[in-house]
Amino acid sequence: MNQNFNSIAIDSTFNSQKSKSISLRNSTTAERVRQLEKLQDWIKSHLEDIRKAIYADFKKPYPEIDASEIFVVTSEIKHAIKNLASWMSPKKVSTPTPMLGSKAHIQYEPKGTTLIIAPWNYPFNLAIGPLVSALAAGCTAIVKPSELTPHTSALIRRMIEEIYEPELVAVVEGEVEVAQYLLSKPFDHIFFTGSPAVGKIIMKAAAENLASVTLELGGKSPAIVDSDVDIQDAASKIVWGKYVNCGQTCIAPDYILVQENIKNELIEAIHSKINEMYDPKIKGIDESKDYARIVNDKHLKRLKHLLDDANRKGAKIAVGGKIIETENYFEPTVMIDLTEEMDVMQEEIFGPILPIITYSSIEEAINYINEKSKPLALYIFSNSKNVSETILTQTSSGGAVVNDCVVHFLQNELPFGGVNNSGIGKAHGHFGFLSFSNEKAILEQRVGLTPSKSLYPPYNFITKKISQALLKWF
């Protein structure tokens, strides 16, 4: 087979991690904390290297890198170090009456060898965040960063090679064929972040080895704006959540559902917030240092198609629309007059186009959302507790935020992830630790005492009475 990567090196790394993973089963809290501290120390002493690499990939502004790439990882490490002893300690469970005399507990053992496949949009955070959970859980890991952000991928490789022995953590760089080769290895767990389409490929490959999976996927996350709302507050938060990272955020509001009587006011507010945030000196947003670029020309063309297709089918651009192809620049854009025949209303946008559609009653908005795949995130802007409760209880999404958007990613006491098409399994904090752990069920019976002996054959009158009593009383 003609291949551009070293499969023998991958095999050798996998085999050495397999052996290491067995010895890690009884690793102590202190040993795992030490591995996490090494990662924390490297990150803190190489902040400028990390910023430069990510900036080189798609001009992400430094404050965005600090907050959304570095801080989220360092806070995840800090949180894991603080809580690891409690997460690792066996959890006693109570004994039901038919099991009287026995004791039981849950022991958290590392799943073993793990594979982490990362996307390009938060290329540092989404490769290293899951690694924190893997190390906390006592697993080995091979990390495959995205090939679309080569500077960050090289930096991650350098970082891991400087910190860890390859039998504990290794980085394998490369394109789809490398990912596919890695997927043929019998990992114990695969943690994938990326699109639902590739998520299905990952799950099929994992099924060959019955590896468990965490799939952090995407989709169309709605933001509902009720008429009982502080419009200026909602507009600021939507503009930030949508256009940070140039719209290339899995939990960005994909589209807005606004109550029809406040549509025009909301559009005006969004327009002025875009100018306040990205064009305060009125020089043009393309001059702004605070606005990132689309990752490559392929994605720019994909977004341009969404805009052109919607325009051709009757939609209008209410704000923005400027594209500079040579710079992968795509202006913050708002679209109106949309219909379901337009691709922009069917596909995850993953860029700075914000479609705004209207509803007349909350039920109509809920029905619209429920007709689509379950989103990764759902945002509600409303002063009415009744409205937010109704939406929260009548829709399904991986996560939800009331009166803000995107910020739930930073709350590491909450599970982060999707549901069905937007993901399977959860990440962050304790939930990330659990994703990489086997919750082993352990029951200890007293020698010579087992209530179940009375149910052993040969069955007789007493067995019959006991089994009937069990059905009657429990």
Ligand X SMILES: NC(=O)c1ccc[n+]([C@@H]2O[C@H](COP(=O)([O-])OP(=O)(O)OC[C@H]3O[C@@H](n4cnc5c(N)ncnc54)[C@H](O)[C@@H]3O)[C@@H](O)[C@H]2O)c1
Toward ligand X, which CB reaches closer, 164 or 350? 350
Binding ligand X (rule: CB under 6 A), the pick from 126, 136, 238, 319 is 126
Among 115-123, 285-293, 326-334, 456-464, which window interacts with ligand X (CB under 6 A)? Answer: 115-123
Binding ligand X (rule: CB under 6 A), the pick from 130, 218, 253, 429 is 218
Binding ligand X (rule: CB under 6 A), the pick from 141, 211, 217, 362 is 217
Binding ligand X (rule: CB under 6 A), the pick from 72, 348, 431, 433 is 348
Tell me, by CB under 6 A, how many residues bind ligand X: 26
Among 71-79, 113-121, 268-276, 324-332, which window interacts with ligand X (CB under 6 A)? Answer: 113-121
Toward ligand X, which CB reaches closer, 194 or 355? 194
Active-site residue, selected from the candidate residues 69, 76, 167, 216: 216
CB of 263 to ligand X, least distance (A): 27
Q: Tokens representing 65?
A: 């890198």
Annotation marks residue 250 as catalytic: yes
**350 forms part of the interface with ligand X (CB under 6 A):** yes
What 3 state SS string does the chain have?
CCCCCCHHHHHHHHHHHHHHHHHHHHCCHHHHHHHHHHHHHHHHHCHHHHHHHHHHHHCCCHHHHHHHHHHHHHHHHHHHHHHHHHHHCCEEECCCHHHCCCEEEEEEEECCEEEEECCCCCCCHHHHHHHHHHHHHCCEEEEECCCCCHHHHHHHHHHHHHHCCCCCEEECCCCHHHHHHHHCCCCCEEEEECCHHHHHHHHHHHHHHCCEEEEECCCCCEEEECCCCCHHHHHHHHHHHHHHHHHCCCCCCCEEEEEHHHHHHHHHHHHHHHHHHHCCCCCCHHHCCCCCCCCCHHHHHHHHHHHHHHHHCCCEEEECCCEEHHHCEECCEEEECCCCCCHHHCCCCCCCEEEEEEECCHHHHHHHHHCCCCCCEEEEECCCHHHHHHHHHHCCCCEEEECCCCHHHHCCCCCECCCECCEECCECHHHHHHHCEEEEEEEECCCCCCHHHHHCCCCCHHHHHHHHHHHHHC
Answer left, alpha or beta for residue 120, where phi above 0 means left and psi between -120 and 50 means alpha: alpha
CB of 166 to ligand X, least distance (A): 19
Q: Within positions 143 to 202, which residues make up the interface with ligand X, using CB under 6 A?
A: 144, 146-147, 176, 179-180, 193-195, 198, 201
CB of 280 to ligand X, least distance (A): 29
CB of 11 to ligand X, least distance (A): 18
Q: Within positions 224 to 283, which residues make up the interface with ligand X, using CB under 6 A?
A: 250
| Whole-angstrom distance, CA of residue 136 vs CA of residue 192 | 18
Toward ligand X, which CB reaches closer, 99 or 198? 198
Annotation marks residue 216 as catalytic: yes
Toward ligand X, which CB reaches closer, 193 or 388? 193
Toward ligand X, which CB reaches closer, 112 or 415? 415
Q: Within positions 405 to 434, which residues make up the interface with ligand X, using CB under 6 A?
A: 418, 423
CB of 218 to ligand X, least distance (A): 2
Residue for token digits 């005492």?
449
Among 92-100, 213-221, 312-320, 438-446, which window interacts with ligand X (CB under 6 A)? Answer: 213-221
Toward ligand X, which CB reaches closer, 191 or 291? 191
CB of 348 to ligand X, least distance (A): 5
CB of 189 to ligand X, least distance (A): 16
**133 forms part of the interface with ligand X (CB under 6 A):** no
Active-site residue, selected from the candidate residues 139, 246, 250, 405: 250
Active site positions, annotated: 216, 250
Positions that interact with ligand X (CB under 6 A): 117-121, 126, 144, 146-147, 176, 179-180, 193-195, 198, 201, 216-218, 250, 348, 350, 376, 418, 423
